[in-house]
Amino acid sequence: MGAAAHIARPDAATRLRAAQEVRARQRRRTRLFLLAPALGIIGIFGLFPLSIALVYSFLEPGTYGGVEWVFSYDAYVQFLFERDIFDDTLSFNSAYLQIFGRSFGLAITTMIGTLILGFPVAYFIAARPPEQRNFWLFAITLPFWTNLLIRTYSMLLIVRDEGFVNLMLMKLGLISEPLEMLYTDGAVLAGLVYSYLPFMILPIYASLEKFDFSLLEAGHDLYATRTQVFRHIIIPITRPGIVAGCVLVLIPALGAYITPELLGGGKKLMIGNLIALQFGSGRNWPFGAAAALILMAVVLIALLVSLRAGASKEGGHG
Amino acid sequence: MIDVKNVTKRFGEGQAAVTALGDVSLTIPEGSFFTLLGPSGCGKTTLLRLIAGFELPTEGEIALDGESIGHLAPNNRPVNTVFQNYALFPHMSVARNVGFGLEMLKRPKAEIDSTINEMLDLVQLGEFATRRVDQLSGGQQQRVALARALAPRPKVLLLDEPLSALDLKLRKGMQSELKRLQHETGITFVFVTHDQGEALAMSDQIAVMSAGAIRQVGTPEEIYTAPQSRFVADFIGDTNIVNATLLGFDGDAAKIKFGEGTPLTVHAASTSLSPGPVHVALRPETIHVVDERAETALLRGEVVDSTYFGAGSQMLVRLEDGVSVHVQVSTPRPVGSRVGLECDTSMLHVLED
Ligand SMILES: Nc1ncnc2c1ncn2[C@@H]1O[C@H](COP(=O)(O)OP(=O)(O)OP(=O)(O)O)[C@@H](O)[C@H]1O
Ligand SMILES: [Mg+2]
């Protein structure tokens, strides 16, 4: 062994270089192993269907659903214009834009609602002693144990004319006629806020959990009132959690399908219902695909713009 | 001037209540460097937090320049704190951290900017103004915390063990820097530490605390040379505490004897002590080692250990009654030899228990 060490010594540098290469290779391989399963799933179930949607959106609808393999960008034109059946002239049609507008309005209201309700809850949990926090987190995630459909149906039972809320109010003599709550925008909003609240609470909690509460004392010590401490210290430091929560609520709320269908009675179309309709009774697959892609593009652009704005604001501080 | 009058602070209620401070009274002179010194858990931080306003006293009153402030919120007191963990705002630049207090006080922008520059110059961090605070070293963060707390020109600056996270060399540097800042600004500094060396080196006055009470207040010299109680003598450095018998008083002076030795006249912390066994403080540097049979020897014992520390040696001598005494000498006697200990009786000091 002594002899081997003696022989090896002259090319220690070479051996070190070889070892460094092995390490680097191992690191690359580990990275690949960690990412491969997720990349595979995203590829097969995400990118592949998305490509199909992209292709379909540039084809013509088949008479009984499906597509005709003829190139056409009609689906996109249809989104903004109405084609006259007789002379093929185009006239502006805002019906679909209105659906988009309504969906965005509802999703943004949902986001603001969950933020207003969720932030204090997240703060409350983060301010508990560590051993109590898991209990509260468990309580927050409890609704997930039941299927969304069932939870939405149960809300339906509560807010309908003969439902719990109306019964109570009438018993108390506050109203004589049942309030019409089911199939209103308010019911849809309440349903969405209820469904997406945990998606707002959890990321905000994650950023508050690391929050150093002695910064609050430092703020008060330096003459900040409670409101100023909230504005100048808590909000900026937890901004990443707030942004994550908003994104996690806004995007699924935009495409929400079950809640507007059940609690809104499908009376007013939302993007999700519009898209679903095209693949069902509407029998216009290209238009459904195009609407889905337009939604995606709008969301992506909105995200990029808001991230850019957030980033430049951070920079302004430094 | 801060007046703490009969302040009691209890945490919790009923059975589980902890009394962090029990009926504490204290006067902190204006413009002084005042140190709260005491072992862990004695209530130093609690007293500081009461002055800052993070906690309200259970009982008692706190007054600043004659005005009661004990009930005010922290943001309504002209008092700023340098936190032990610095508590700098991580999302702000160094400059904005320093200007935060003035920003909250809604001072004009020009004033804020000029104060920021002035403060950063004061703590020698001028070129770091635009840095993020997490890009600074511990010592630099410490100085940002100081500048931030000084910028609004508070009447009182509270510092809770601000140097404990720094390494020895940096700590020495910051000690003199703190002294300089206190001198230049004339602001009253209330400084918390459990390091007696630090307290002696920096303070105009020291309050020694233990178990939620103040044991002695005085200048570093008074605390060092004339500790009143066994606790204070023990806590301040490496004082020897030996047994003696109190014979009585002659005016303010106490008459004592060591063992069966001749009576001596020495200082006493209090004239209310009753004759009998007492403890006497004996500083290592005032002791001379002499021959065992020397007439002048007050105490006798055997050398049991000797440690070289560069400038000299420290010998451990076990007295006849079993108490061990530290002695500083230039040439140590061999371990096992018997020696006599002689000392200046004016440096002896009878302690309260
Ligand atoms: N918020 C609190 N709740 C309950 N007990 C407390 C609280 N804060 C302090 N105490 C208790 O009060 C006593 C004094 O605490 P304090 O923090 O003032 O000590 P300290 O002198 O600053 O000690 P250290 O040198 O370790 O910082 C301790 O017994 C402590 O356990
Ligand atoms: Mg403390």
pLDDT tens digits for range A240-262 = 899 999 999 998 998 888 888 88
Residues A43 and A102 in one domain: no
What integer pLDDT is reported at residue B88 of this predicted model?
94
Residues A13 and A132 in one domain: no
Residue B116 has pLDDT above 80, yes or no: yes
Look up the CATH number of the domain holding residue A230: 1.10.3720.10
Q: How sure is the predictor about A318, in pLDDT bands with cuts at 50, 70 and 90? A: very low
Report residue B20 as tokens.
């962090």
- A151 is a domain residue: yes
- A70 is a domain residue: no
CB contact under 8 A, B81 and A215: no
What integer pLDDT is reported at residue A170 of this predicted model?
87
Mean pLDDT of chain B: 87
CA of B38 to the centre of ligand 2 (A): 10
What integer pLDDT is reported at residue A316 of this predicted model?
42
CB contact under 8 A, B100 and A225: no
Residue A90 has pLDDT above 90, yes or no: no
What integer pLDDT is reported at residue B337 of this predicted model?
84
Residues lining ligand 1, CB < 6 A? B 11-12, 18, 20, 38, 40-46, 194
Looking at residues A226-247, what average pLDDT do you find?
Answer: 92
ipTM greater than 0.85: no
B7, B45, B85, B235, best to mutate for ligand 1 pocket (most atoms within 8 Å of CB): B45
Residues A106 and A207 in one domain: yes
What is residue B348's three-state secondary structure?
A: coil
Q: How far apart are CA B301 and CA B303, in angstroms?
A: 7
- A75 is a domain residue: no
Whether B81 and chain A come into contact, CB under 8 Å, resolves to yes
Whether A315 and chain B come into contact, CB under 8 Å, resolves to no
Residues A102 and A209 in one domain: yes
CA of B44 to the centre of ligand 1 (A): 8
Residue A203 has pLDDT above 60, yes or no: yes
Range of the domain at A42: 2-57
Q: Measure A278 CA to nearest chain B CA, in Å.
A: 48
Which of A135-144, B58-67, B338-347 has the least mean pLDDT? B338-347
Whether B154 and chain A come into contact, CB under 8 Å, resolves to no
Which of A66-70, A183-187, B155-159, B254-258 has the least mean pLDDT? B254-258
CA of B79 to the centre of ligand 2 (A): 18
CA of B46 to the centre of ligand 1 (A): 6
Phi-psi label, residue B276: left if phi above 0, alpha if psi -120 to 50, beta otherwise: left
Which residue puts its alpha carbon closest to atom 29 of ligand 1? B41
Q: At what angle do helices A148-159 and A185-209 cross, to 10 degrees?
A: 130
Q: How far apart are CA B305 and CA B323, in angstroms?
A: 14
Chain A residues with beta carbon closer than 8 angstroms to that of B152: 222-223
CA of B39 to the centre of ligand 2 (A): 9
Residues A206 and A306 in one domain: yes
Residue A3 has pLDDT above 60, yes or no: no
CATH code of domain B2-225: 3.40.50.300
Instruction: For B1-20, write each residue's pLDDT tens digit.
Output: 888 989 989 888 878 888 88
- A197 is a domain residue: yes
Sign of CA dihedral B201, B202, B203, B208: negative
Residue B328 has pLDDT above 60, yes or no: yes
Looking at residues B246-272, what average pLDDT do you find?
Answer: 79
Which residue puts its alpha carbon closest to atom 13 of ligand 1? B20
Domain boundaries, chain B: 2-225, 240-350
Which of A204-213, B82-91, B97-106, B162-171 has the least mean pLDDT? B162-171
Question: For residues B64 and B154, is the Cβ–Cβ distance under 8 A?
Answer: no
Residues A39 and A119 in one domain: no
What integer pLDDT is reported at residue A6 of this predicted model?
55
Q: How far apart are CA B189 and CA B29, in angstroms?
A: 10
Share of chain A above pLDDT 70, in %: 94
Residue A117: burial class (beta carbons within 10 Å; 0-12, 13-18, 19+): middle
What integer pLDDT is reported at residue A56 of this predicted model?
92
What integer pLDDT is reported at residue B320 of this predicted model?
82
Q: How far apart are CA B33 and CA A61, in angstroms?
A: 86
Residues A108 and A172 in one domain: yes
Q: How far apart are CA A132 and CA A149, in angstroms?
A: 31
Looking at residues A51-71, what average pLDDT do you find?
Answer: 89
Q: How far apart are CA B122 and CA A117, in angstroms?
A: 46
* Residue in chain B nearest A223 by alpha carbon: B75
Instruction: For A100-148, write each residue's pLDDT tens digit.
Output: 999 999 999 999 999 999 999 999 999 999 899 999 999 988 888 888 8
Residues A31 and A164 in one domain: no
Q: Measure B179 CA to nearest chain A CA, in Å.
A: 23
Question: For residues A198 and A144, is the Cβ–Cβ distance under 8 A?
Answer: yes
Residue B35 has pLDDT above 90, yes or no: yes
Looking at residues B65-85, what average pLDDT do you find?
Answer: 89
Report residue A16 as tokens.
């070190």
Looking at residues B59-81, what average pLDDT do you find?
Answer: 89
Chain A residues with beta carbon closer than 8 angstroms to that of B130: 318
Residues A108 and A48 in one domain: no
- Give Cβ neighbours of residue A251 (< 8 Å, ≥ 6 apart): A299
Whether B73 and chain A come into contact, CB under 8 Å, resolves to yes
What integer pLDDT is reported at residue A312 of this predicted model?
59
Q: Measure B110 CA to nearest chain A CA, in Å.
A: 18
Mean pLDDT of chain A: 87
Last residue of a domain, one of A10, A28, A57: A57
CATH code of domain B240-350: 2.40.50.140
Which residue puts its alpha carbon closest to atom 3 of ligand 1? B11
Please state the domain count of chain A.
Answer: 2
Q: How far apart are CA B28 and CA B124, in angstroms?
A: 29
Instruction: For B185-229, write each residue's pLDDT tens digit.
Output: 889 999 998 888 888 888 999 999 999 999 999 999 888 888 888
Q: Closest to A214 (Cβ–Cβ): which among B52, B87, B132?
A: B87
